[in-house]
Amino acid sequence: MRLLLGAALFASAAFDARGQKVLDLEDALTLAERSSPNIHMAENALRTAELSLSELNTTGLPQLGAVVNGIYTPSPPTFGYDPAITNGGELSGRIVLRQTLYDAGVRSLRSDQLTGDRERLSHERRLAQLDLALSVKLAFAEALRSEAATALEARSVDELESYLSLLKRLHAGGSASATDLLKTEVETSNARMALMRVREDASGAKIALEEIVGLPPDTSLILAGSLSDSLASPEEATLLGGEPSSDSTIDMTVAGMLIQRSLVEEDIARRESLPAISFVADGGYVSSGDNFRVPASERINGIGYSVGIGIEVPILTWGATGLRTEQREIATDDLRRRMELLRRSIASDQRRVRIQLANARARLGPVRENSSRAEQNFILTKSKFAAGASLSLEVLSAQQSLTEARLAEVQALADIRALQARFERLTAR
Instruction: Say which amino acid occupies 316.
Output: L
pLDDT tens digits, one per residue of 389-403: 888 889 899 999 999
pLDDT tens digits, one per residue of 18-30: 446 789 999 999 9
Nearest in space to 347 (alpha carbons), one of 335, 336, 355: 355
Show the DSSP H helices in 76-177 as ranges. Answer: 83-86, 106-172
From CA 166, how far away is CA 176, in angstroms rounded?
Answer: 10
318 phi, psi to nearest 5 deg: 60, 30
Check if the beta carbon of residue 90 is closer than 8 Å to that of residue 69: yes
> What's the pLDDT at 169?
87
Minimum mean pLDDT range among 9-13, 70-74, 323-327: 9-13
Greater confidence, 162 or 242?
162
Check if the beta carbon of residue 55 is closer than 8 Å to that of residue 114: no
Task: With cut-offs at 50, 70 and 90, classify the pLDDT of residue 37.
Answer: very high
Q: Average pLDDT, stretch 123-152?
A: 95
From CA 70, how far away is CA 346, in angstroms rounded?
Answer: 67
Question: CA distances (Å), 383 to each of 166, 346, 429, in order?
Answer: 11, 54, 57
Q: What is the chain's length?
A: 429
pLDDT tens digits, one per residue of 296-355: 888 888 899 999 999 999 888 898 999 999 999 999 999 999 999 999 999 999 999 999
Check if the beta carbon of residue 123 is closer than 8 Å to that of residue 55: no
Q: Average pLDDT, stretch 362-379?
A: 92
**Distance of alpha carbon 426 from its chain centroid, rounded?**
14
The mean of the pLDDT values for the chain is 87
Check if the beta carbon of residue 167 is closer than 8 Å to that of residue 181: yes
Q: Average pLDDT, stretch 231-244?
A: 53
Residue 276 has pLDDT above 70, yes or no: yes
Q: Average pLDDT, stretch 206-221?
A: 85
Minimum mean pLDDT range among 109-113, 240-244, 361-365, 398-402: 240-244
Residue 17 has pLDDT above 50, yes or no: no
Residue 156 has pLDDT above 50, yes or no: yes
Residue 230 has pLDDT above 70, yes or no: no
Say which DSSP state 174 is in: T
> What's the pLDDT at 335?
96
Greater confidence, 98 or 294?
98
Task: With cut-offs at 50, 70 and 90, classify the pLDDT of residue 9.
Answer: very low
> What's the pLDDT at 290?
83
What Rg do the C-alpha atoms of the chain give, in angstroms? 39
Give the end-to-end CA distance of the chain in Å, rounded to a whole number: 25
Residue 41 has pLDDT above 70, yes or no: yes
Segment 317-320 long-range contacts (CB within 8 Å, at least 24 positions apart): 317/272, 317/273
Torsion region of 71: left, alpha or beta (phi above 0 gives left; psi -120 to 50 gives alpha): beta
Residue 39 has pLDDT above 60, yes or no: yes
Q: Select the highest-mean-pLDDT range: 87-101, 158-172, 330-344, 355-369.
A: 330-344
> What's the pLDDT at 45?
95
Greater confidence, 388 or 259?
259
Strand stretches in 328-409, DSSP E? none
For residue 280, how many C-alpha atoms fall within 13 Å in the half-sphere facing its CB?
11
Task: With cut-offs at 50, 70 and 90, classify the pLDDT of residue 244.
Answer: low
Q: Average pLDDT, stretch 126-138?
A: 95
> What's the pLDDT at 233?
53
> What's the pLDDT at 299?
84
pLDDT tens digits, one per residue of 44-59: 999 999 999 999 999 8
Q: Average pLDDT, stretch 137-155?
A: 94
Residue 162 has pLDDT above 60, yes or no: yes
Check if the beta carbon of residue 259 is closer than 8 Å to that of residue 335: yes
219 phi, psi to nearest 5 deg: -80, 5
From CA 352, how far away is CA 312, in angstroms rounded?
Answer: 59
Packing angle, helices 37-58 and 106-172, rounded to 10: 170
Q: Average pLDDT, stretch 38-43?
A: 95
From CA 73, how far away is CA 89, in angstroms rounded?
Answer: 5
Pairing of strands 303-312, 14-15: unpaired
